[in-house]
Structure 1
Amino acid sequence: MSVDPAVPRLRPAGLGLLKPPAVPSGDLFSWTVIEALGDPAAGAPPALGAVGVCGDRARAMRHMEQALLDAPVRAFGLLHKVCIGWTGGYRYDRLLAKMRVDRRIRAVLVEEWEPTSTVDPAGDLFAEITRFAGRNAA
């Protein structure tokens, strides 16, 4: 039987599709260093520095601390608990820590919460960056 190339051939759903990525088990933590706020009124997003995701909260905090020490003076960092979203990428679940460097006293300052705390739930990351910066403009 010859097949006419102009006639589409039907096949069962799923054949030839890429296999979905494996979802890691356990917690995931995302750290983000914000180097500059940008200009929300002009539609300019914040300038992000180093970012990362890993399955160990303490290691994520160490990575964020090192990135902040290498970042510009007014940079700050946010640590979130995240999960894999339905459409890929990460869904920000809960803010766990805020970090900044106080160069006057040569110290890294950290506010940290447990995943079950009632601190502001994460929403839009850029809105959260602006809100955090407004509270910590000093």
Structure 2
Amino acid sequence: MNAPAFTQPVFTNPQLAGLEDLAGTYVFDIRTSHRVLKLNRFFWNMIGADARKAFVDDPEASMTAAGLTDDEKAMIRAQDWIGLVRHGANFFVLEKFARVVSMPNLKVYAAMRGESFEDFMNTRNVPTMR
């Protein structure tokens, strides 16, 4: 007698119901975390001086050694912050990488919104505070 074929159960998270209707919302759940683990580890490792130096000295070799995909490498080269978030990069480790490439948080936020830094600052309560 043949055993029934095993199928992977499909789990839906009721907390995510309707999320697709919220523009600018990107789920970072266990599935996303698993799918882009190498990318997030690459960014997390930027806490170490050796990893930062390796990236600064040879970005391509550093990204290749981390096992990043060609698409991930392209987003990193372009400093496509929102593209990285949409892809599954965890924002908090992305901030670590922003320091490595000398990008202040406010400029990252402006880029994520698709705005110039000046336009973004004009939306702040104290636009002259830099």
Fold similarity call, TM over 0.5: no
TM-score relative to the length of structure 2? 0.25
TM-score relative to the length of structure 1? 0.24
Larger radius of gyration: 1
Higher strand share: 1
Higher helix share: 2
